[in-house]
Amino acid sequence: MNFEFDADTEEMCAMVVAFAQRELAGRGEAASSTLDVGDFRRRWQLAGEQGLVGGAVPVDYGGSGLDAVASSAVMEALGYGSGDAGFAFSIAAHLFASLMPIVEFGTEEQKREWLPALCSGERIAAHGITEPEAGSDALNLRTRAVRKGDEYVLQGGKCFTTNAPVADVFVVQAATEPNGGFFGLTAFIVEAGTPGLSVGPVYDKVGLRGSPTSDVHFDGCVVPARQMLGAEGMGASVFSASMKWERVCLFAIYLGAMRRVLESTVGYAGDREQFGSPIGDFQAVSHRVVDMTLRLECARLLLYKAAWGLARGSQDEIAPALAKLAVSEAAVQLGLDAIQVRGGLGVVEGEAATFLRDALPSRVFSGTSEIQKNNIARALGLGKNRRPHRRH
């Protein structure tokens, strides 16, 4: 096993950290509802020029052709260098939940038509699947797609849609066969501005404030059949594939942010004095910092193990779920610990409080921690459909 990146990846990550520190630092505290679309797109274009918004897309379609390991390393560098985890989250959601499904399931014509502008930073993508009555139960969608000749008519709505307020392109999941289960969903590429598609007000969120999020509504939205992604009934497969990328590579952002907060916490514990000594000299504080380090390193190993498998085409369901679960739970606890070490300063100001707010949603999106445990248990053979265990 080799725990080091190659020289090209190391150089790329150093460039990403420098870019993020220069262009993306200190923006994560602004309220979500005060979205400055012009500034968001300006930074997005800069990220596109750095190759961040299309990194995992093959070179032939405008991307950098990075595998899952290198993509995770870049996202980790972005999380480390940027004080705006929300903006980094928007980049990752665009790339892994929207572009990679087009890469894996799109026709050659679709790839040539949509991917270059999405990789360059000229256009922004959003992925719509979550609905008010279909969050964890993602197969029970109420948004319908009815075929009429060479077109589909979409009716329904999505909620919690990342990038919706700024998106130019939507990858949308709809039911073409209601109650059809895994084979009842179909994915579509829908362009913003299509009649019948509208976007609701921007959410004001607890964390990830730099990531614009809103509802999306479809009222008789007509989509050409040529914009179907994959075959009819393949929507769940498209979604599952995108979640493998998202649950691994996106969560590397949190690894970088955790490392940044851990480093500042070590610095604070070494400088802050109480009772005539730096607080890091006290075992209660030093052991808490050690626990923070342990959680980060364990989560990082699980994530890169999953990335290694994804890069090699592994169909393992457990590794991505374990990685997502470990990183999200470690991030929340590390945020709590960072605040505890800082005491009152951790509560009223600074990166610890910002990081904790950004970490809290990680236990919910891309499948809650409880859903990940269900997925892992099912993959282990536990649950309602498990095989009887033979006693010896």
Q: What is the CATH number of domain 7-124?
A: 1.10.540.10
Q: Let me know if 263 is a catalytic residue.
A: no
Q: Which residue among the candidates 29, 104, 122, 246 is catalytic per the annotation? A: 246
pLDDT of residue 136: 62
Q: What percent of the chain has pLDDT over 70?
A: 94
Per residue in 93-102, pLDDT (tens digit) is 999 999 999 9
At residue 293, does pLDDT exceed 50?
Answer: yes
At residue 392, does pLDDT exceed 60?
Answer: no
Task: Give ranges for CATH 1.20.140.10 in the chain.
Answer: 251-379
What is the pLDDT averaged over residues 331-346? 96
CA–CA gap between residue 324 and residue 246 (Å, rounded): 9
pLDDT tier for residue 391 given thresholds of 50, 70 and 90: very low
At residue 29, does pLDDT exceed 70?
Answer: no
Per residue in 123-135, pLDDT (tens digit) is 999 999 988 876 5
Q: Which CATH number fits domain 251-379: 3.40.30.10, 3.40.50.2000, 1.10.800.10, 1.20.140.10?
A: 1.20.140.10
pLDDT tier for residue 64 given thresholds of 50, 70 and 90: very high
What is the pLDDT averaged over residues 269-277? 94
CA–CA gap between residue 293 and residue 331 (Å, rounded): 11
- Do β-strands 144-148 and 151-162 pair in parallel, antiparallel, or remain unpaired? antiparallel
pLDDT of residue 329: 97
- Between 289 and 388, the higher pLDDT residue: 289
The pair of three-digit structure tokens given for residue 194, joined into one six-digit string: 């299509």
pLDDT tier for residue 30 given thresholds of 50, 70 and 90: low
At residue 51, does pLDDT exceed 90?
Answer: yes
Q: pTM for this structure? A: 0.92
CA–CA gap between residue 248 and residue 305 (Å, rounded): 9
Per residue in 198-243, pLDDT (tens digit) is 999 999 999 999 999 999 999 999 999 999 999 999 999 999 888 8
CATH topology for the 126-237 domain: Butyryl-CoA Dehydrogenase, subunit A; domain 2 (2.40.110)
pLDDT tier for residue 383 given thresholds of 50, 70 and 90: confident
Report the chain's mean pLDDT, rounded to a whole number. 92
At residue 294, does pLDDT exceed 90?
Answer: yes
Per residue in 136-179, pLDDT (tens digit) is 666 778 999 999 999 999 999 999 999 999 999 999 999 998 87
What is the pLDDT averaged over residues 178-190? 88
